[in-house]
Amino acid sequence: MPDQQPDIDARVNDLMGQLRKLYTDRKHPLTTEFDLEKENNIQIVKQLKSRLPPAGFDLKKPIGVGSTATVWIVHHKELDQDRALKVPRPDDKLKDTTKIMIDERKHLAAVNHQNVIRIYGSGEVEIQGQPHPLPYFIMEYLPDFDDFDKAILASWKTLTDAALIAYFRDALTGISVLHSENIIHCDIKPGNLLIAPGKPGKPAVVTDLGYAKLVRKDDSTLTDVRFTKDYAHPKLKELVRKKDDPEANIAPVPRKDLREAFDLYAFGRTMQDVLNQLHDAVQKDCQAHPATKPILTSYQWAYLSMISKRLLDGLVDRRAGPELQTDVIAGLGDREMRDICYSSATEALIDCEKLLNLYDLESNVPELNQHISSYVQIPNCHVPLTNRVRATVEHPALSRLAGCGKRDAAT
């Protein structure tokens, strides 16, 4: 056994070298942060290497460094499949946010839906000097996926209008599924919604559930909610703990006061952000190539814009500017926006599906379908001859009326 120690240390050193590169390759290099967190990261790696094998996993390599966490590939030995492991960064500034992840793990692992990232397991690692363990999650590995906005902007020229709208529908479906399990995501934004560009049939997926919260209506205890300011509901921004810190994005919220509106508002802002970026890209392309067919019709742009505004909990902050950038629907006032705001993700989802013609009246009322080849001719109109219309026309009561008409004519 002692002979294996040098090999273990060599492997840890190799992994730390890969992790250092990820820190320094970021848009805003984190070399200083890596040096500050190095010793704690070594502890994390050593513990993961000892704790994962009994659960059937091997630690392979780091693949990402975010503002709050690192992401690693782990390999499931029995299934011969890769998974992703996410663990908070050992940063003293984040110590107040790690404990809030622990209590939610079992509830998140129970969610199983194609539009929500699958969590397969979780655990904890102990760090010397940290007041509580760092929880880690083992989840679906999505190598071909990219952030919601980046994926759409990179592939919009090859997307159909239906495929684009379906991505918004998928995201709303994932949010609706979480809400049906009494889970509030708390940090919906383009970076936490993933798409596989160029992969037809791959749905958009809601990810990064590390700070998601279970709603308990009878629980008045405070829970720390982490959010991204550009997409956060104003109520969350009002509750930030460190008022003197302009970058503060943690709010203590009584668990019973957690609201679905937090996620709806964040997705409304996400839709506005994506639609605005996409509209600018389309406009520039149309100017350069006038023959290019726009990806959406004027009606579809307006419809999606209305959905985004109705997700904002009736709050109107942006009043002036282009239609896609304002928070109010043309012709309506603040009161009307409060009256028509969505109360659930399902309501917005249904409207998205209407735009995809999944709620067309013709499917429920075939008599409205003008494309049925058999019809009954009445003045100025064709009535589709469905089974119900045929049964009505051939009903004995209607036949007697026809007989009465013939007798009157004879008289």
pLDDT band with cut points at 50, 70 and 90 for residue 29: low
Residues 6+ apart with CB under 8 A from 186: 211, 212, 213, 225, 226, 227, 258, 262, 263
pLDDT band at residue 1, thresholds of 50, 70 and 90? very low
Q: Which has the higher per-residue pLDDT, 291 or 204?
A: 204
Residue 377 corresponds to which amino acid? Q
Output the six-digit token pair for 296: 């959406």
283 touches 307 (CB < 8 A): no
pLDDT band (50, 70, 90) for residue 382:
confident
- Report d(CA 35, CA 33) in Å as an integer: 5
Tokens 């630690």 sit at which residue? 59
Radius of gyration, alpha carbons of the chain:
28
Helix (H, G, I), strand (E, B) or coil at 101: helix
SS3 77: coil
First to last CA, the chain: 115
255, 224 contact by CB (below 8 A): no
pTM equals 0.80
Instruction: Output the six-digit token pair for 95.
Output: 């110590």
Q: Are 265 and 307 in contact (CB under 8 A)?
A: no
Domains in the chain: boundaries:
1-141, 364-398
Q: What is the CATH number of domain 1-141?
A: 3.30.200.20
Q: What is the mean pLDDT of residues 361-388?
A: 75
Residue 80's pLDDT is: 95
Q: How many other C-beta atoms can be found within 10 angstroms of the C-beta atom of residue 11?
A: 14
Give the closest residue to 83 by CA, choosing from 159, 143, 30. Answer: 143
Residues in CB range of 82: below 8 A, 6 or more apart: 60, 73, 74, 75, 76, 141, 143
Among 66-80, 130-144, 218-232, 391-405, name the one with the lowest average pLDDT.
Answer: 391-405
Q: How far is CA 103 from CA 86, 95, 124, 137, 150, in A?
A: 16, 15, 12, 13, 32
Sequence-separated (6 or more) residues with CB below 8 Å from residue 313: 233, 261, 264, 265, 341
Q: How many CB atoms lie within 10 A of CB 129?
A: 10
Residue-wise pLDDT tens digits, 102-129 = 556 667 777 889 999 998 888 889 888 7
pLDDT beyond 90 at 313:
yes
> Strand runs (DSSP E) across 140-247, as ranges?
146-147, 183-184, 193-195, 205-206, 213-214, 222-226
Q: What is the pLDDT of residues 42-100, one digit of tens each?
A: 999 999 999 999 999 999 999 988 877 899 999 999 999 999 999 888 865 555 555 55
**HSE, side-chain direction, 13 A CA sphere, residue 129:** 8
Please give the mean pLDDT across all residues of the chain: 85
Higher pLDDT, 62 or 380: 62
Confidence at residue 224, expressed as pLDDT on a 0 to 100 scale: 84
Collapsing DSSP states into helix, strand and coil, what is residue 71? strand
Lowest average pLDDT, out of 5-19, 333-347, 355-369, goes to: 355-369
Does residue 300 contact residue 352 with C-beta atoms inside 8 Å? Answer: no
> How far is Cα 91 from Cα 36, in angstroms, rounded to an integer?
8
Instruction: Tell me how far CA of residue 216 lies from CA of 149, 194, 220, 254, 405, in angstroms.
Output: 33, 28, 8, 9, 70
